[in-house]
Amino acid sequence: MEPFNNIHALIIDMDGVLWQGNQALPGLTDFFQTLYELEIRFILATNNASLTPQQYTVKLARMGVTVAPKDILTSGMATALYLAEHTDPGDTRVFVLGEDGARQPLRDRGFTLTGLYEVNNSGSNTSHKGADIVVCGKDETLSWDKLATATLNIRAGAKFIGTNADVTLPTEHGVTHGNGAILAALQAATGVAPIIIGKPEPIMYQQALALLGVAPAQTIAIGDRLETDILGAIRAGIRSLMVLTGISTQEDLETSDFQPTWVMADIRALTHALRSQHLSMEPY
């Protein structure tokens, strides 16, 4: 296994790494205290697009951790940035199947959000102009009407974007369905496959590296999923560390075609490794 050294910045997943649902994982406060004490830069980069950075800071505060909104990057934010780089926000209408974390970044970039049953369809009974793009993120208020509106817009020619394709989500109740399950339903109804922005695509990691301003060789990605966090890091050309507190297991590692650079039990083990690394590292 590669020596655990030359680590000056972290790109950290949240669900399954820092918490499960609303339950903090053991060692959470000590982990962040260590990052601040050792002056290790970090970005919390999550595929979960349900919350805004401000809402994530509130969630972390309830768990005893202080983090600035600028240190958080969600797949909703990554999606809004990607679309702003590839379209004209002022002339683009978007229907969002998702929560504040998917909707607000699009508003912030200047996109117009459409409502239920606003569809470019000659058979529609509405006079409203439909969406040019459908964005689908995790949505705990998912309804028939939302799915129907997304389906109608995609079938009418709207581009189909998924903030992420995680088919499962670790919660305090156990593993449940993720955004990928919703994408699968829409793909089945429309015959159109979504463009995915979140991990394992390298887009989010590339955006996080730009925010950190640290060389990829001095950065590692922390995650709990082989098929998203770890594969995304490999595609982005950075080292990775998998913790065993989320979705992927030791058994999954034994059958995987790709591997993380390191595997640790949890963030407590990572905290210990970071402190040990700091004692032997050269000044940055």
Q: Which residues are catalytic?
A: 13, 15
List % helix, strand, coil for the chain (3-state, nearest 5): 40, 20, 40
Residue 13 assigned ligand-binding role = yes
Residues 192, 198, 202: CA angle, nearest 5 degrees:
110
Residue 199 assigned ligand-binding role = yes
According to DSSP, residue 197 is labeled: -
Residue 15 assigned ligand-binding role = yes
Instruction: Report the alpha-carbon distance of residue 117 to residue 147 in Å, rounded.
Output: 10
> 221, 196, 233: which is closest to 78 by C-alpha?
196
3-state secondary structure 6-73: CCCEEEECCECCCEECCEECCCHHHHHHHHHHCCCEEEEEECCCCCCHHHHHHHHHHCCCCCCHHHEE
Specify which residues 239 forms β-bridges with: 220
> 199, 272, 186: which is closest to 233 by C-alpha?
199
**Left, alpha or beta for 6 (phi > 0: left; psi -120 to 50: alpha)?**
left
Q: State the pairing for strand pair 159-162/168-171.
A: unpaired
Residue 266 assigned ligand-binding role = no
Which residues are annotated binding-site positions for substrate?
199
Feature table: binding site: 13, 15, 199, 224
